[in-house]
């Protein structure tokens, strides 16, 4: 076995583990807050929309599937949609108006006040994701951003920004999918295991 190759594996694992520990130590409460907001939206009849490009598109589809099917708890399906999956819609918008509007027009068509848009971009500067966030804010949706260091252009458009403090794309994406899994677990927790923790927020927070 190549010692150099093995060293690359172990260095990557160590960097990922250190970043994961640092991120959740600092941002764990924000992850809980986002999950509670998502659970509140669902409890009020809202839905979750996800968007991103490339690996972030895969994360969007992955997480939407966890909500519609199930994560670990056996429970009813929850309404979630990845805006990355309908090739006819994506290519029609891209062909007629440009790729920058691929997600925006879907948010305009499908989003409602009180829904949640989870926008994923490691750079925070993906134009079509930025446009989707602008459309979501116009519809009084809750906007959640998952980005890399700094948040880029997405930062001022997000009600809650979950920015991973790193510039290396692969490590940021590893944290993103872990955050996504935590959101799935916590939404199930709030909706089906600890409703009493959610009820005071539903009673005190205006809808939308």
Domains of the chain, start order: 28-204 (3.40.50.10490)
> Please, what is the Cα angle at 38 between 17 and 46, to 5 degrees?
150
Query: What is the pLDDT confidence band of residue 208, given thresholds at 50, 70 and 90?
Result: very low
Q: pLDDT for 132-187, tens place per residue?
A: 999 999 999 999 999 999 999 999 999 999 999 998 999 999 999 999 999 999 99
Cβ neighbours for 47, distance < 8 A, ≥ 6 positions apart: 41, 79, 80, 81, 112, 115, 116
DSSP code at position 206: P
- What CA–CA distance (Å, rounded) separates 82 from 96? 21
Specify whether the CB–CB gap between 52 and 122 falls below 8 A. Answer: no
Compute the mean pLDDT over every residue in the chain, rounded to the nearest whole number.
94
Query: What is the pLDDT confidence band of residue 205, given thresholds at 50, 70 and 90?
Result: low
- What CA–CA distance (Å, rounded) separates 176 from 162? 9
Share of the chain above pLDDT 90, in %: 90
Specify whether the CB–CB gap between 191 and 201 falls below 8 A. Answer: no
Query: What is the pLDDT confidence band of residue 206, given thresholds at 50, 70 and 90?
Result: low
Query: What is the pLDDT confidence band of residue 204, given thresholds at 50, 70 and 90?
Result: low
Residue range 14-37: average pLDDT? 95
- What CA–CA distance (Å, rounded) separates 143 from 131? 12
Q: pLDDT for 56-76, tens place per residue?
A: 999 999 999 999 999 999 999
Q: Which helix (H) or strand (E) segment is 67 a member of?
A: helix 55-68
Residue range 121-137: average pLDDT? 97
Specify whether the CB–CB gap between 110 and 89 falls below 8 A. Answer: no
What number of CA atoms fall less than 13 Å from residue 70's CA on the CB side?
Answer: 7
């Amino acid at each position: 076995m190549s010692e150099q190759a093995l060293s690359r594996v172990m260095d990557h694992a160590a960097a990922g583990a250190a970043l994961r520990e640092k991120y959740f130590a600092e941002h764990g409460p924000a992850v809980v807050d986002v999950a509670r907001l998502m659970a509140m939206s669902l409890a009020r009849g809202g839905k979750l929309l996800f968007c991103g490009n490339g690996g972030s598109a895969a994360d969007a589809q992955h997480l939407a599937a966890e909500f519609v099917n199930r994560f670990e708890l056996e429970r009813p399906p929850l309404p979630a949609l990845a805006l990355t999956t309908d090739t006819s819609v994506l290519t029609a918008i891209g062909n007629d108006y440009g790729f920058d509007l691929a997600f925006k027009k879907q948010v305009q068509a499908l989003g409602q006040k009180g829904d949640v848009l989870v926008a994923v971009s490691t750079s925070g500067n993906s134009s079509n994701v930025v446009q989707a966030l602008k459309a979501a804010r116009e519809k009084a949706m809750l906007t959640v951003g998952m980005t890399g260091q700094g948040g880029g252009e997405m930062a001022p458009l997000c009600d809650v920004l979950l920015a991973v403090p790193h510039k290396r794309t692969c490590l940021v994406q590893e944290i993103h999918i872990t955050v996504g899994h935590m959101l799935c677990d916590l939404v199930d927790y709030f909706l089906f295991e600890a409703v009493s923790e959610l009820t005071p927020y539903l009673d005190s927070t205006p809808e939308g």
